[in-house]
Every structure is written in C-alpha cells, then in structure tokens.
Amino acid sequence: MENNGKEISLVSQLIWRIESERNGNGRSPAERAPLGQVTAADTERGVTVHLRREQPVELLRQGQFVVVEGRHVRFFGTIGSFRLATTDPAVGMDPPDSASPLVRDTLSRSTTYAECNVRMALELSPEGMPRPARTIPGPFSQAFVAGQADYRTVFGTEDRHHFVIGSPRELDEDMAAQAPICIDLRKFVERSNGIFGRTGTGKSILARLLLCGMIKSDASVNLIFDMHSEYATEKELEPRGQGRYAKGLRDLFGKNRVALYTMDEEESRKHGGVDGAIRIALSDITIDDIEALGSELKMSEGSAMLITARQAWRKLGRNWIERLVEMDAIRLEEYCTQTGANTGSVEALKRRLETIADFPFVVSSKEAVGGGINGLINDLKGGRHVILMFGQHRSTLAYMLVANILTKRIHDEWVKWSERHEQDREGQEPPRPLVITIEEAHKFLGRGSATIFGTIAREMRKYLVTLMIIDQRPSGIDDEVMSQIGTRVTALLNDDKDIDAVFTGIRGGSQLKALLTTLDSKQEVMLMGHAVPMEVVLRVRSFDNDFYRSLTTGPATPTKLARNIEENIVKSEKAKTSLESLFDE
Amino acid sequence: MDESRRPLGEVIATSYSSFTVESYTLNSTPPLGSLVVAQNVIGVVCSAHTEGLGPISARGSLEGDDESVYEMYPDLQRTLRSQFGALVVGCYDESAGSVSEGRAVYTFPECPPRIHYKCRQAGDAELVLFTQRPDYLRLLLFSNEVPNVDQVLIHLIVRAYRARGNDHAWLSSTAEYLGRQLKGQYDRLLAVLKTLDALTTPRLEHTGEISEAVGKVRL
C-alpha cells in the first residue's frame, strides 16, 4: 500500500485488505479463514474464541459456521454471540476523546479485543463422522471460519438422499454454490417435521421446495392438503406484481407423478386436469370429528352442546347428523322429550351441523361419495403424490373436516398395510413412507387435541406416516407433539411464546433463541433437528430455473416405482371415468 | 571517517543498565532519545548536562551575543565539561560477527562498556535496523533509572519514525506494542500516544510545499 506522505490509519489499511479480498486478491470464501483461538470453554455455555486482530468482528455474523481444531478432536459449531471487551476497565470508564487516528486505533487494537461465543454442536469421530460434541477443545485451540470442505463434511454433498435446501447465510449468493447445505431426506421423512414462521416469511415456498426434494428422491409419497390451491400450479412470488412465479409441483413433475384431487367440483369442471373429486358422506362424520372441530364450531370441551352432540351420536347412530339436520320442529321436540335433551342445545347443535351438511362436498348417502377417496388412497399406495385442493372451500372448518376424515382413512390403510407386512414380511411389501402436509397446524394439534394428526405426530414412524406441518403459531401446538417434531425449519418468529415453542426439546435451545431473532424476514431460516447433523442458519435456495433444472438431473427414478406409477395412472383413469359418470348424472 | 561513526566521547561511568559518557566537545551531546553505541552495548540517550569542574565565575556582557562569553574566557573550554547518560537497551551479539555486522539483541550485555572506551552515535540505518522489531522498547519501558523514561521513549520512537521517512504503518505497530505492554496503565499510555501524535502529525502550514491538489506554477 502506498503511503504518499498521507496518514493511513489502521482502519483504512483494514478496508483495503477487505476490499482486496473481495476483489479476489485474498482468501476465497471456499477456504477456511483463521478466526482466533479458544480462551475459555464450558460444556454448557459454549466456547469463547478470542478473535484475531486481523479478523474484523463486523464482518462476522451470528450463526456463522465455525471449526475448532483441538489437539485431538475437530469441533464444529456456530457463533452464538459477540462481545467487545477491554484489557483495562479504565478504557471503558474514560474512553479516549482524542480525534487522532493514532490514539484511537492504537487503543482499539491494543486495549480492546473482540471475542465470540461458539456453540459447539459436533465433533468429528475417529471414523471421520460428525457426532454430537461430548467434550470441549483445549486452551488456545485454533478456530476457523468454516470452508467448503467443512460444510461438506457436516452436511454432505448432494446425492439421491441429500437435497440442497440452501446455503450458509453469511456467504454471498454467488458463493452459495460452493457450500450447499443439504438435508438428509431419508431422515427427514422418518419423523414428523415442522415449518414455522410468521406470515410472509416464505413458508409455503419452503414447503414446496422440500416437497420437490421428497418427490425427486422418492423418499416418501406425499399428500398435501392444499388449503389455498397453491402447490399444484404456478404461484406468484412476493413481492407481487414483479412477474416472478414459482412453478407448481404438477408443472414440475407432471401428472404421472403428481395427482390432483379437489374438493371443489365446480371449479375443477371449469379448469379440468384433476384426477378426482372428493366427497364426504355425512355418515362418515363421527362425534370425534365434530369434537376435533370444536374450536371452529364454537363448541368448547365440556359444553352443553358437545354433551348434546355425544348424546345424539349414541341415540341416533351412524346417520346421526343427517337425521338431526332433517328434523323439523315437531320431531326435534319429540327427540328432546324422549332423550331428555335440552331443546335449546339441540337446536344450536342442529344449526352448527347444518353448516357442515351445507358444504357442497358433503353428501348424504354413501353411494354418492363416488370413487374419489379410494382413488386418492390408491394413488398414494401406488407412489403417486397427491395434492388435494380446496378451491373455494377455504374455510378452516372445511379444511379441518376434510383433512381429519381423509387422514383417518389413510392412516387406517397404512396401519393395516403395516400389520399385513408384519405378519408376512416376505410376501407383503412394507408400506411406503407417507408424509402428510397440513397448514394451520395449530388448529389440529392444539393442546389436548385428540385428532388423528396428534396420533400421527406422537406415533412417529411406527406406521411410516408422518406429518409436515406448516404453521405460524407453533405456541398453539401441544408441547408433547412439538417435542416429537423431528426436523424444524424455522423462519422469523416474533412472538416469544412461538419462539419458545419452536425450541421445545432442542438441546441448547436457549442459545439458539437469540439467533432466531436475527433472521431476515425473507429467505432466511434456521434448520435444526433430525435431518441435519447440527442446527444451521441458511439462506433458502431460490425457486428459479436453476432449481427446476436440478430437478430433471440427478439420480434416475427407480424402475419399480416407475412401474407402480404406470399402474397407478391406469387406476386413476378408471377413477376419472367413474367421476365423469357421476357428473353426467 | 564516516561522520556517523565519529566518537562523541568516552565512557566515564558504567553499569549493566546505563552508562555515562563525557563528550569530547563542550556542549556537544547527542539529542534526547538518540541511539549511541559503546563497545557492543547499545544505549538510548536519556540525560545530558554541562557543568563546571569548579565554581563558575565567568560572565558575559549584557550587550554581547550568547557566544561572546566563550571568546572572552577561552579557559571555559577546559573548565567546563559536557556529559550525557544512556540507558542500555540492548547489545550486539558479537558471536554473529563484528559489532557493526552483529545482530542486536534486546537485553543487557554480559559486561558493561569499559571506562574510557569510546562512544559513538548510531546512524539512521542502524537506528532503523535496531527498531525493526518493537521489542527494543521493553527494557526502556521498565527502566527505573530516570524519573521520566516515557520522554526518552517518545523521542526515540519519533527519531526512528523520521529515519524511516515518516512510516506511519511502523508507528502504528509500535504504538500497538506499547499499548499491549502498558496494560493497566491507561493514563500513561494515553499521554505517550498523544505526545507521539503531536510530534508526528504533519503540520501542513509549516511545510512550505504547494499542495499537489492546487498544482505548481510553471515558468
């Protein structure tokens, strides 16, 4: 650097160095960069790294991936917090008032220092595999900002089971390809998963991304309860009005692999392209389904109306809703006299049940249900992914009703399939892992809720049915269910209760909470849990042409699955024929 | 003879940590903070004084110049003497070669310089070489031979800075070293830094140079 007789402060030297690095004259971000050395460590509170003077603290970020080379063990962790300190308390009490760069820079470099707290998550086992850190690095162990090779060691490289979900937040987008963060999809589908974040943080795009990964790798077969009809086809990306669209799953994978079912026959008639319509018979709605809809029907636990409903279920049998809804005033009075039920409660219950009976997709007779549900189940069994669109029926009541009833049916099928396989391991194929995606999950999985979704979340992988829940209020989800969530992908959350809920059952959750609040509201998420070796803050990959291209390359679809899909298309064609005949009627 | 290697005087008192030199020429003592060498011992000038061998009775006239008294009383050249003291800051490792080629080590010598051995002032090149690494400051910082060693240190640093052509990067690293050595002595460090800053900040109004930004008149 030239002097030119002018003052060149340490700061300007530093800026020059940083700029030269940015211009490619320095270290490549793909390489490790020295960070500092370990000066203190604690298994509970993490490791203190005294930063090198050459490492400007302002260029580091919370959540940054760090490697510590101990004498015997290599550790991996993330920066949790930073701290500026002075070697002399007097400096803090009486900071220099001089404007001289010499005084200021000298004091800042010699009497102050920066350190960061690193949460050690993993250590490298003697076999070279990352495993949870069980010890701490020795004094003065050298710490580094992780390089490309370190990311690969921990998160693996993209292959059939490892799906690139994003890149480290601290890397520029053009450098992101050098350090992809992969998620192990086999582990991901083993347990129920959650995508959390406040409104507008890109949860549905993230869900779409993960679904693409699962579909591409055939890690599982997926059923998506698509409340807003946004997963199948193109969706405009935010900010809206800029002509940026994300392709739908059907656009990307075609009808051979993704089946569309609808709750809205009218809309499907207009647009076509669906594989079937779902109708629900009133007789299939049990008292448990009504209880699960308690919050939407304004029937609280223990209320007179719910007691009346249970009584009606017992007295009127399987067609209880149909019979109750069809009662005129005289018959209702007779029913109340016979059963001793309160007339007001029965009338109120009748009104609530009428809202259900009035849904166009709810039919009175078993025969009118058609082959929709069976077609959907057969598609899933055959390995075809299913998106169930709700069309105009976007109310939470409709969504919960359908999701509950269908999931119960599907769950029953998978339980039977598992049991058949258990009884005849040689002759019967094991069930295909099924992932059910639901939105507004806290409505299904609230405290004390006994819905089928709670059962699935708690059962875990017993019957190879798991959930991918998408929610903006994780605090509304039962703690027990939350603790069973395997992998959590968390975008920005504001509410303290929601943040606490997300970290339920996570080791070192308190340290991670602070990190969560540093997320940008767009594209940044924290990934933690079963499918990744350690928690990581990442920038989610863009849903763009590069991504679409990556879906068409990579490992080939297994022949067996392809055969199943072909078989399934034949079945769905049959189902469609029966559907058309229904419409004709 | 190389002017920079011309002897200044002879050692008249000596110890491991300091030595005193009597100048060959009256009123000719090296500047405060300058580097001097006696045998293989390197010192930094920390004091200077001129005094009479006995009571001084000579007086100049009120009208005469300052220098006129020496013309009126030529004996003053014999009855007055100039001496300077130096704090030992290192020595040359003679095993590595002759003194002039030797490597400076920042520690006390095995033997102090001998009485009546000559003392010379180090030139700029030698000063630059000696101050290449900031470790030369260590002995000075912890010396208790003189009441205000910081003034010696400041002048030494400023001389080395100028000998380097006002190398600010060197000054910054030296200041940083001082900062690390003076841990817990914030007030002392601040005073040293502020004085260094005052002595090394260019005073544009005194340079007499025309700013490059303005341009120069071409005749």
What's the mean pLDDT in B20-29?
93
Kindly identify which residue of chain A lies nearest to residue B174, measuring between CA atoms: A106
What whole-number distance in Å separates Cα of residue A113 and Cα of residue A119? 20
Identify the sign of the CA torsion B184, B190, B191, B197: positive
Which of B180, B194, B201 is nearest residue A110 as measured by Cβ atoms? B180
Neighbours of A13 (CB within 10 A): 15
Which of B168, B177, B194 is nearest residue A8 as measured by Cβ atoms? B168
**B196-208 burial by CB neighbour count: b if 16+ within 10 A, else e?**
bbeebeeeeeeee
Span A190-207, pLDDT tens digits: 999 999 999 888 888 899
Q: By the 8 A CB rule, do B194 and A103 touch?
A: yes
A91 interfaces chain B, CB cutoff of 8 Å? yes
pLDDT score at B98: 56
A94 interfaces chain B, CB cutoff of 8 Å? yes
Unique residue bearing structure tokens 């100039």? B82
Flag the least confident range among A178-192, A256-270, A480-494. Answer: A256-270
Kindly identify which residue of chain A lies nearest to residue B212, measuring between CA atoms: A4
Flag the least confident range among A381-385, A478-482, A575-579, B95-99. Answer: A575-579
Kindly identify which residue of chain A lies nearest to residue B173, measuring between CA atoms: A106
* B179/A90 CB distance under 8 A: no
Span A157-189, pLDDT tens digits: 888 889 999 988 877 766 777 788 999 999 999
What's the mean pLDDT in B192-216?
69
What whole-number distance in Å separates Cα of residue A474 and Cα of residue A443? 10
Instruction: Give the ipTM.
Output: 0.79
Q: Report chain B residues whose CB lies below 8 A from the CB of A3.
A: 166-169
Kindly identify which residue of chain A lies nearest to residue B191, measuring between CA atoms: A103
A107 interfaces chain B, CB cutoff of 8 Å? yes
Q: By the 8 A CB rule, do A551 and A216 touch?
A: yes
Distances (CA, A) of A576 to A260, A280, A302, A582, B12: 11, 17, 43, 10, 116
A7 interfaces chain B, CB cutoff of 8 Å? yes
Which of B169, B175, B193 is nearest residue A8 as measured by Cβ atoms? B169
What whole-number distance in Å separates Cα of residue A521 and Cα of residue A198? 9
A351 interfaces chain B, CB cutoff of 8 Å? no
Distance from CA of B154 to the nearest CA of A (A): 14
**Chain A, window 30-89: residues with a beta carbon less than 8 angstroms from a chain B beta carbon:** 87-88
User: Which of A225-234, A422-431, A502-511, B150-159 is most confident?
Assistant: B150-159
Distance from CA of B28 to the nearest CA of A (A): 33
pLDDT at A293 over 60: yes
A5 interfaces chain B, CB cutoff of 8 Å? yes
Distance from CA of B190 to the nearest CA of A (A): 7
Kindly identify which residue of chain A lies nearest to residue B190, measuring between CA atoms: A103
Q: Report chain A residues whose CB lies below 8 A from the CB of B172.
A: 9-10, 102, 105-106
Q: By the 8 A CB rule, do A309 and A299 touch?
A: yes
pLDDT at A148 over 90: no
pLDDT at A127 over 90: no
Please name the residues in contact with B55: beta carbons below 8 A apart, sequence gap of 6 or more: none
Q: Write phi, then psi, for A113 (nearest 5 degrees).
A: -155, 160
What angle do the packed helices B168-181 and A101-110 form, to 10 degrees? 50
* B186/A7 CB distance under 8 A: no
> pTM of whole model > 0.90?
no
A102 interfaces chain B, CB cutoff of 8 Å? yes
The candidate with the shortest Cα–Cα distance to A14, out of A53, A45, A61, A63, is A53
* Inter-chain Cβ pairs, chain A and chain B, closer than 8 A: 71
Neighbours of A454 (CB within 10 A): 21
- Per cent of chain B over pLDDT 90 is 64
